[in-house]
Structure 1
């Protein structure tokens, strides 16, 4: 399922379910867990990931064509982004452009397309429910009785303590959840050697054992790249806020958000109109 010459670093999640030599087996295991099916390894699975669309340098998405469906998976380690449905809308439009012949859209006869499904696997530290659904229509400023467009994203909290049922049906996803938990724990204990220690401990515990024994150095490099990327983004956002605050625009956003919050607008609407994120609004 792998694709050559990627222009950015993949995450461990993406490598497991899209790029590794056993990615097809892992992906089908997850697909079967989500759908209650029993597709076998002989089932055709086509990797149709896009280059560098959802993120800037590290792409945490998996996109596959299987069983007449486009399955789009995304890992989310930070606070859940409530704009994910809009991002997936932009993403799926590009996927359809990629897989459909340019002339098909002009045919008189209906051109059939694979059914899209969207999933986010959350493993951050916020208190988030076991599962929820994000809808594109939640972002509409005006919501008519008959929606002209909708896109739903199923979000699963895959932290082990949340007990998402999908973990019990997919061993690779369960092991990945435990791996992330161990990485988080070990990096807090030892910032310099945390990644290496986490990989070693997981191998000893039998968590993703075969995968980590085979690719330990690559996995550590991926973890370092993810950490560096997250750090860079945090610094960039802090700098942007300083600049915005200096020219007064950030203060204006805060005042707008305060006013809307006082009028009991939904958080998603306040995010859309003010440009602030959920944490900034909840802190007001």
Structure 2
């Protein structure tokens, strides 16, 4: 919304989501500006130039973006993903529409004067375990049911792989991002040989000692540990449900010997997975379906099939 002095003020609904380490680290304007400069090759040095307007469940309970801000008359929407999600361009479109609605709510949209709006940029920071290139462009038009060589509505999001060892130039330009990649790498590596609690504690202790995200981890040690454990458990659960559960559904359909049976088996398994995630990870049905990449237009059907 717009205040009396013309500056943008973000909506202030209740926080009903769990924070992520990436969000926590880059909620600091100084760190966010460093990240912006690294991504865009710019050299801004005043964090107050940033006007943060991150959506926090402003319209839909299941909709929020990780980081949104305006600088140099550009609207930047950043998302962090540990699971590849091809639907992010559509979600970005919805986020941008909500922000533009707030920015122009007091303007005369029906007048003859053109209303100026900040130029959007959409960036996804990916650090999942599935292999993806350093840079990948995701167009909204890829989701259209009917391909169009010149779509009337297009939106392109850039996905940057921020795992350790990837996008070297970007990492060197933003030490905090490089440190984040190193910390995440250590947690995952240590979790393969120790319980996750011990793995996170070891990673935090080492990183503080070696100057890796040391200020952030020192100030937020307890919360960072809790969030890291939650994130790892969530990733592990998602991976298991996809690799095991959905394959079981497919095999059940194959035993029935028909395509319809395959689809029914997968749908039933997905419904069970949604319920398991809601219970095991204490999340809403919308959040579970978002993580499992179930399209918006199918979610009502899945809600009706959830086990009691």
Normalising by structure 1, report the TM-score. Answer: 0.76
Distance 1:125 1:60 in 2: 22
Distance 2:92 2:59 in 1: 8
Q: Is the 8 A contact 1:54 1:87 kept in 2?
A: no
Distance 1:243 1:159, change over 3 A: closer
- Unaligned regions of 5+ residues in structure 1, if any? 256-270, 276-284
Normalising by structure 2, report the TM-score. Answer: 0.70
Count of residues in Structure 1 that have an aligned counterpart in Structure 2: 253
Q: Is the 8 A contact 1:183 1:198 kept in 2?
A: yes
User: Do structure 1's residue 161 and structure 2's residue 165 form an aligned pair?
Assistant: yes
Shift of 1:163: 3.6
Shift of 1:111: 1.0
Q: Show the counterpart of 2:110.
A: 106
User: Do structure 1's residue 10 and structure 2's residue 19 form an aligned pair?
Assistant: yes
Q: Is the 8 A contact 1:85 1:152 kept in 2?
A: yes
After superposition, where does 1:213-252 map in structure 2 within 5 Å?
213-230=218-235, 251-252=262-263
Q: CA RMSD in A?
A: 3.5
Distance 1:133 1:177, change over 3 A: same
Distance 2:63 2:219 in 1: 22
- Unaligned regions of 5+ residues in structure 2, if any? 1-8, 267-293, 299-308
Q: Is the 8 A contact 2:75 2:118 kept in 1?
A: yes
Q: Show the counterpart of 1:132.
A: 136
Distance 1:213 1:55, change over 3 A: farther
**Matched residue SS, 1:119:** strand
User: Do structure 1's residue 47 and structure 2's residue 52 form an aligned pair?
Assistant: yes
Point out the more displaced range, 108-117 or 160-169.
160-169
- Spell out structure 1 runs of 4+ moving beyond 6 A: 1-4, 53-60, 234-248
Q: Show the counterpart of 1:147.
A: 151
